[in-house]
Amino acid sequence: MWQFIKYVFATIVGLFLFSLLGFFLFIGLAAALGSSEERTTLESNSVLKLNLNSQIQEVSVENPFAELSGGQGSVIGLLDIKSALANAKLDDHIKGVYLDVQYPMVGWASAEEIRDALIDFKKSKKFVYAYGEVMTEKAYYLASVADKIYLNPAGGMEWNGLSAEYDFYKGTLDKLDVKPLVFRVGEFKSAVEPFFRENMSDASRLQNQVLINTVFDHAVEKISQSRSIPVAQLKNLADSLNIDSPQDALKYKFVTHVGYYDEVETALRNELKLKEDDKIKFVGLSKYGKAEKLVKEGKSDSRIAVIIGEGAINSGKSSDGNIGSETIAEELRKARKDKKVRAVVLRINSPGGSALASDVMWREVQLTRKEKPVIASMSDVAASGGYYMAMGCDKIVAQPNTITGSIGVFSVLFNFEDAFRNKLGITFDRVNTNAHSDWPSVTREMTPFESNRMQRSTENIYAIFTKKAAEGRKMPLAKLQSLASGRVWSGKEAKANGLIDEFGGLDKAIQVAAQAAKLKEGDYRVKYPAQKNVFEELINKFTGDAEEQMMQQKLGTFAPYIKTLKKLQLMEGTQARMAFEMKIK
């Protein structure tokens, strides 16, 4: 009886959740249909309001609910932010920009592109105000270009430098009695260290120290230029923790004002010459996206196609957070066959992944560049498999703080024999037709002969990777290999080493592509990818949350371990990948 009641209750809950989801989908669809043709009519003296505390991706997730509030979705696109600022620069209705910036969820290279777009907007002589109750280093990096920077009197500013942190899984694997079998090439290929170490190796520590120093030095130099604070002073303040309060930030000229939001509004009214009780006409990103487009598009018969790959690299179709080689290959083929497309920009934001999938995309790049220029644009990270995607392009453009390189490969297998026996009481036995018919197996030890074969296979793939990289960069193989070994470089270091060609963001890559295709400004149109669909994202999140809750309910304290193992399952075959997850904070 109790089982029957439980099933009935579960069914009722399931129906309720399904109905609730259906209701929201219906409302969202209605909002989308109702607003699809509606244009935003701006009032004079408006202010573009950018909330940069959301997750920022290359391409936004279309959210019709945002239209109902005039705001923006929970996932906003870098392309949308830059497009809005470029349009607002020319829009007489927009008098300035207001930044709400505290905890931007964005990489350093993407932050650089937003910052550059704000600097370009200021050429219009319009104002930029920034406000935050608190500000991280990345938030301040964005806010530092503003004409006026307000920090809440009871808030705070983080100014203590950057730190890079890795997760290590050796303890988890030990608890589960899972033995990792690691094969790698390259002293600096630290992506496998989390499986057999509890901390960084000396080589890994060296490359990460150099990387974060370069990223922070670049940020400090830019802030110094914007705020007229000497570089040495900025670094001393980070070491001394002297920015302990908003008043300290004001004292050292990090901010122009310490004030509450109502004081920011008062300052904006004065800027806009409004009366005390007049309402400020803010317009959000989503709503402004439907305003009149003032940035003129070029001729439609000559196009530059932008193809975006964001996430880990796997075979098959792309999905949220994953680059599918089949999807990117198909997009490259379409661009290659489209006579209106004169050049291609391959935008990459990826720590790498499957070496096989990376090579599939490399091949399509080679075929495409035989017919038209292909330019790589590196975003926050284009390392290992991400660099594999870029290295065959005609030119590579990256930001000084882009994370790249990591030219190396590894293979990881796991022996679950002890885990099954000790945790679940399951044992295994087998018969084979040949000596290694069951190789590779996850339920027995690998023999020395089999281990040697696996290492040799990994080395062969590394040889292919480095040979193609050397050919793509037009440098001797020995020199390329001296830059490889899995070492991660900043964009600044990569340019000095010849791994990239030019500094800049996506716009710069488009300019390089136009020049390569002998197109003048105004003679071409940029073809960007479409927005992601909010309904698909909502369903994916709903089903993903449900799966996680079920796992927690069924496995209890073992759930986190299984979640970690699920991540490892995605790493099939030889990997061209950076460390599992690098957190710079």
Residues recognised as catalytic: 189, 384
Contacts with 61 (C-beta within 8 Å, 6 or more apart), sequence order: 73, 74, 75, 77, 531, 532, 533, 534, 537
Helix 231-240 vs helix 202-227: angle between axes, to the nearest 10 degrees? 120
Radius of gyration of the chain (CA): 26
State the residue for tokens 């260290």. Answer: 193
Terminal-to-terminal C-alpha distance of the chain: 53
CB 198 within 8 A of CB 169: no
Measured between alpha carbons, how far is 349 from 117 in angstroms, rounded to an integer?
19
Contacts with 511 (C-beta within 8 Å, 6 or more apart), sequence order: 504
Strands (DSSP E) found in 121-173: 127-135, 148-157, 164-166
491, with CB counted inside 10 A (0-12, 13-18, 19+), is buried
Q: Which of 374, 403, 406, 401 is nearest to 390 (CA)?
A: 374
* DSSP code of residue 523: S
CB 96 within 8 A of CB 47: yes
The residue type found at 342 is R
Measured between alpha carbons, how far is 489 from 211 in angstroms, rounded to an integer?
6
Note the Cα 194 to chain centre separation in Å. 21
Other beta carbons within 10 angstroms of residue 276's beta carbon come to 7
Measured between alpha carbons, how far is 455 from 459 in angstroms, rounded to an integer?
6
Other beta carbons within 10 angstroms of residue 218's beta carbon come to 19
Partners of residue 343 on adjacent β-strands: 304
State the residue for tokens 């994916």. Answer: 540
Q: Which of 178, 94, 96 is nearest to 129 (CA)?
A: 96
